[in-house]
Chain A
Amino acid sequence: MQPTMKISGITKHMAVAVLLLTGWLLPLQLNAADVSVSAELSRPQISQGEMAELQIQVSGSQQADVPQQIQADGLQIRLTGQSTQVQMVNFKVSSSVVYSYIVMPLRTGSFIIPGASITADGRQFRTPELSFKVDEAKAQSINPPAGSSQSAQGILPPGIPMPGFQQQRARPAQQRPDEGRLVFGEINCPKKTLYAGEMTPVEIRYYFDARYPVQVRGRIDFGCEGILVERFPDPKQTREDRDGITYNVLTFHSLLSAVKPGSLDVAPAKLDCEIEMPGALPPGFDDPVFRQLMGGQAGISQQKQVTVKTSGLHLEVLPLPKEGRPESFAGAVGQFDIDSIVSNPHPAAGDPANLVVKIGGRGNFKGMGAPVLTNTEGWRSYPPSDKFDSSDELSYTGVKSFDFTLIAQQLQKESPGCEFSYFDPTTAKYVTLTSKPLPLVASPGGPSPAVAGDSSAASSPNPVPSSGQKSPKNVPPKEGQPLSGINLRSWTTPMHRSEFLIATLAMLIATAALAGILAYWKIQSQGGTLASRRRKHITELRSLLTEGTIDAGSSYEAALEYAELVLPPSEKRDALILGLTERRDLLKYGSGASLPLPPLEHRELLESLELTTKSP
């Protein structure tokens, strides 16, 4: 996200236009760009206890699929972060992503770091193999910081949560900003001496004179070889007065860690921005009258490209000591604690148990390896899956859970224990945490009917093929051991199989048939359809009229209804209905409605309705 500060009038529209144009041009240019991949080690040779940084740069693409780990015997290589850079020069856009890996040696010797397969823009690339050498540890040239000197050097005391920047004021790049200075930056890294792999917070503040609208362009540029800087979250925007000038302040927080021991000079953190400066009016307009007419706002603004810089940062990076380094140490630097639980203490026979080891605290969670299981006799374990739950936006504090899948090879009543070692930079010592075995009951699975090498299974006449049998996946085999049992499955999805389509068609027909049957029943219960009810009614009327068994009033009622239902619309019909209505009303409101209709009138009525008298 680009933090946008105050933008005024015309400039705002121009900025929108520029952004739209950039947004339109960017993909075109990016797509047109060639993708290339390169890999580089920060140092080809290190001493034991040190770490190196491997950077894989993908140019011409903004996103690539890279492995989380690179497998190399004797080395632990883990992805720690990425940074993206997009540049546009003369509307030609170039972008690159740099993926940073920490290379931590597990022993001394010469190594070949194999090429990693990278997928970018749908294409596959392979980085070149790199040679890497790890020597015996050299004598330390820099003394580790004594506990008493930490506060003097600005090291955060233990227990202060991240981010703890409010605890200590940032030290300006210069002692105080110059009068009238438009923009300036400050950097605050409370810890100037740190160990390789140790993470320390860094705060970068950029001050912008509040009187001038500013637009920030691009991302913060900070870091150097041997330093890993975590991605900067969105900055906080505040206001601050300095020497009578109000500044808008953008504050960026992040974490940095060093992988290269020695003295490091980190270049200033830079941020590109555009400041809208007032410009001179053209000749003839620069007079008070014109300014008055324009409400005092007359002026031509000019955009000024500015790169805001902080001061540089000097760091002393100490190698991790070789002395006292536990075997279970896997790169964790910080302060941690350990906890473990068994998620299913009573698994069924042959089913795996899960031991979840939680490492909480603060430090380099991304670079830490898994804890080591102890008392694993009678257990088969697999490499754990891990999950990190951060409790701050910088992923400095939190809990990382390692989920070990354990399969009992014999009856077990407690889980394996666990050991986790880390280096505590505040005491400059390695610490080993252990978790005790936890109670559980797990037993191995029973012998499978067709286990490899089982002669009874091999000689079994028909031990296998039943598609209804329990899948062998439910009984985890030993790693690398073949599965027994054969379950036949189709190569095609049900939607493409005839039996499924036939079943679907059958269900469709069944549903339609059910609907038809229910509709028929419903119609029957209501006396048939409207048309059939009409036909039936006409027949009844015709019978009444032709039989002549009803009185005169009812006869004319029936005749009227019959005429309305049967006779086609015409003038003759209308006249007939009128005549019938008059005669009915005469009978109804006069006398004779209850008397039988005289035969002559009955015949005339039937003739008018185009009916014939029913034969006696």
Chain B
Amino acid sequence: MKYLSLLLLLLTLSLASLHAGLPEDFASANANLASGHADQALSTYKTLLSYPEFKTSGSAEIWYNRGLAEMQTGDAVAASLSFRRALLLDPALAPARLELSKTLGSLSIPVPNGWRERTMQSIHPETLIVTGALIGWIGALLLVVMLFQSSRRKGPILLSLLLILFGHGASVLGTLVDPRRTARDSAVITAKTAPALRATPADSATESGTLEPGTLISILSRNGAWWYVSTGSGPGALQGWIPSNAVTPLLSSSKDSKGSS
């Protein structure tokens, strides 16, 4: 008990030192946003997101609030990116889903509402993955014990097999629906005007269509200032080259400075 208390104290101290000054700045930005000073709030949110704490992790709440500030300043495209990032971190964050829906509606972009989105609204993918893996491994351990029992009873063996199947199945399902799985290769069109998709990486190449600002795309390959992107995964998905400065990756760590601008 003594050691446990010590461990908790150390953990609390480490967390407190990790976010020194962050809560105050965050509350100050929220106050600015609530009182209508969206520009000041946006500036603070951008500063907060440049803190080293957010290199490998993120806060859905900060991205959501930043999206609200961007909406208030009239930048719907940037807001859509912020709401998407908030949902990337917490797919069950209902306010972010509502605001993203409204933002995409204002940009006349269809709102995705497939089975993945519906699953994520019910349960966080991380919970599904971790809990599923835990149940699966408990099933595996149980199966090992059962197999080495002198009297092999079918019931417990079947139960352990079911635990393995459902546990690891849930884990795989959670990974499949987790938007972070493919986020590294996803990006949002953030150019002010709809950029053209081109057949080859050149300004003079044939146009095969345009992409509306705010559209989510998949990056298939990167070639300097040109990226080869796809608009979807279906058989009719359009692919083509697009200038990399017209898009912002969904993962903020790599190119956040551009997304913030």
State the A residues within 8 Å of B (CB): 61, 65-67, 70-71, 114-117, 119-126, 382, 450-454, 457-460, 462-466, 471-473, 476-477, 479-496, 500, 503-504, 507, 510-511, 514-515, 518-519, 521-522
Contact = CB atoms under 8 A, between A and B. Distances in A.
A244 B252 CA distance: 78
A411 B34 CA distance: 24
Nearest to B71: A480
22 contacts: A122-B231, A122-B234, A382-B98, A457-B27, A464-B19, A465-B16, A465-B23, A471-B90, A472-B61, A473-B92, A476-B94, A476-B95, A480-B71, A482-B29, A482-B64, A483-B64, A486-B19, A488-B59, A489-B90, A491-B183, A493-B125, A493-B129
A123 B238 contact: yes
A387 B26 CA distance: 39
Given A124-B210, A458-B28, A488-B53, A477 B58 contact: no
B119 interface: no
Nearest to A510: B141
Given A450-B27, A481-B34, A489-B89, A71 B105 contact: yes
Contacts of A477: 95
B11 to A, nearest CB: 10
A488 B27 contact: no
B234 A491 contact: no
Nearest to A511: B140
A493 B178 contact: yes
A54 to B, nearest CB: 14
Contacts of A70: 108
Contacts of B27: 450, 452, 454, 457-458, 460, 463, 484
A450 B29 CA distance: 11
Contact of B148 (A457, A459, A487, A518): A518
Residue of A122, A451, A464, A481 with highest tally of chain B CB at under 10 A? A122
Interface string B168-199: 00000001001011010000000000100100
Contacts of B89: 489, 491
Interface string B3-39: 0000000000001101100111011111101110000
B236 A121 contact: yes
Contacts of A471: 90, 93
Contacts of A483: 61, 64-65, 95
A448 to B, nearest CB: 10
Residue of A117, A484, A511 with highest tally of chain B CB at under 10 A? A117
A117 B108 contact: yes
Nearest to B136: A507
Nearest to B64: A483
B125 A490 contact: no
B234 A460 contact: no
Contacts of A65: 110
Contact of B22 (A120, A464, A496, A504): A464
B88 A491 contact: yes
A465 B35 CA distance: 24
A480 B68 CA distance: 7
A514 B144 contact: yes
B208 interface: yes
A73 B27 CA distance: 36
Given A122-B238, A489-B90, A495-B175, A114 B31 contact: no
Contacts of A117: 107-110, 212
B contact face: mostly helix, strand, loop, or mixed: helix
Contacts of A463: 23, 27
Given A121-B238, A473-B93, A489 B60 contact: yes
Interface of B: 15-16, 18-19, 22-24, 26-31, 33-35, 41, 53, 56-62, 64-65, 68, 71, 88-90, 92-95, 98-99, 105-110, 125-126, 129-130, 133, 137, 140-141, 144-145, 147-148, 150, 175, 178, 180-181, 183, 194, 197, 208-212, 215, 230-232, 234, 236-239, 251-253
Contacts of A507: 137, 140
Given A65-B110, A117-B110, A519 B26 contact: no
Nearest to B54: A488
B24 A458 contact: yes
B108 A115 contact: yes
B145 A486 contact: no
Q: Which 3 A-B pairs have the closest CB atoms?
A: A452-B30, A122-B237, A452-B34
B191 to A, nearest CB: 13
Contacts of A121: 236, 238
A514 B145 CA distance: 8
Given A67-B110, A115-B108, A122 B236 contact: yes
Contacts of B210: 124
Contacts of B208: 123
A490 B130 contact: no
Contact of A493 (B24, B71, B99, B180): B180
B59 A67 contact: no
A464 B209 contact: no
Contacts of B147: 515
A316 B254 CA distance: 64
B245 to A, nearest CB: 19
B58 A515 contact: no
Contacts of B212: 117, 124, 126
Nearest to B57: A488
A465 B16 CA distance: 7
A511 B141 contact: yes
B94 A489 contact: no
Contacts of A490: 56-58, 180
A123 B231 contact: yes
B226 to A, nearest CB: 19
A71 B106 contact: yes
A119 B129 CA distance: 33
A450 B30 CA distance: 9
Nearest to B62: A486
Contact of A453 (B34, B145, B194, B232): B34
A599 B114 CA distance: 93
A465 B92 CA distance: 19
A464 B110 contact: no
A458 to B, nearest CB: 4
